[in-house]
A and B are shown apart, each in its own frame.
Chain A
Amino acid sequence: MKKIRVLIAKLGLNGHDRGAKVVARALRDAGMEVIYTGLHQTPEQVMETAIQEDVDVIGISLLSGAHMTLFPMVQKLLKEHRIDNIMIIGGGIIPEEDSFKLKQAGIAEIFGPGTNTKDIVNFILSKVKK
C-alpha cells in the first residue's frame, strides 16, 4: 500500500522547531510517514534528503525571515535536478504579501501561526495522489 511520505525540514539559521514537531506529529497521526531531519538545514541537504527518501511533500518551517531567499533556492535545486513531482508547503512567520508571492512562484501553500493541523493534513490529502 502506498503511504504519503513527507519531509519536514528546518531551513537556515533558525533554532525553533516546536512548530515543525507539532506538524510532524499531526501528519504521523494522520497515517503519513514523516521524515524529520533536525535544525539548520541547507537547501542542498533538503533536496538530497527529499531525493533519497522519495518524498511526496516537503514541508519547510522557517521563522528567521529568510523565506524569500531560501524557499526559491530549494525550488531552483529541485528544478535543476528535474524533480517536478514533489509538492512544497511552508510554515512559520511569513508576512501575507510574501506568502502571496511565494505561492505565485509555485509554493503550494503557506500555513501561518494559528493554523489548525487538520487543515494541513486535509490539504496534503487533497493534493497528493495515493
Chain B
Amino acid sequence: MKKTILTVDDSRTMREMLKATLLGAGYEVMQAEDGVHGLEVLEGAMPDVILTDINMPRMDGFGFIEGVRRDSRYRSVPILVLTTEGEPEKKDRARRAGATGWIVKPFDPEKLINAIRRLAA
C-alpha cells in the first residue's frame, strides 16, 4: 500500500514542489494551506508522515503540531517541520510542540525523501 504524506504550507510554490517531489518518490500526497486547514484535512485521514511549514496564516506550524499531537489518534504520526527558519529557539519550540524532525528549506529532495522513507518505514 502506498504511504500517504500530508503537507501543510501556505506557499503554493512550496506545495507544488513538495507534491512533485513526493509523487515522484511514489507517495500519495494530501495538502493543506495552513494549520487550520491542515487539521481539517487530517479529519478522517491517517497520513504516514506529516510535513509542515512554521510560518503560516490563521494557525502556524507550532499550533498545528500541538493540535495534531493533542488528538490521540495522531500521536504516533511523525511530523517533520519544513521551514526556512533555522534558529535553535524555533527548533526547540517545534520540538516541544511535538515535532519529530526538522528539515531546512530549500530542501534537498533526496534528503527529504530519505527522511520520510525512514520515518514512514
Asked if A pairs with B, the answer is no
A residues with a Cβ closer than 8 A to B are none
Interface residues in chain B, defined as those with a beta carbon under 8 Å from any beta carbon in chain A:
none
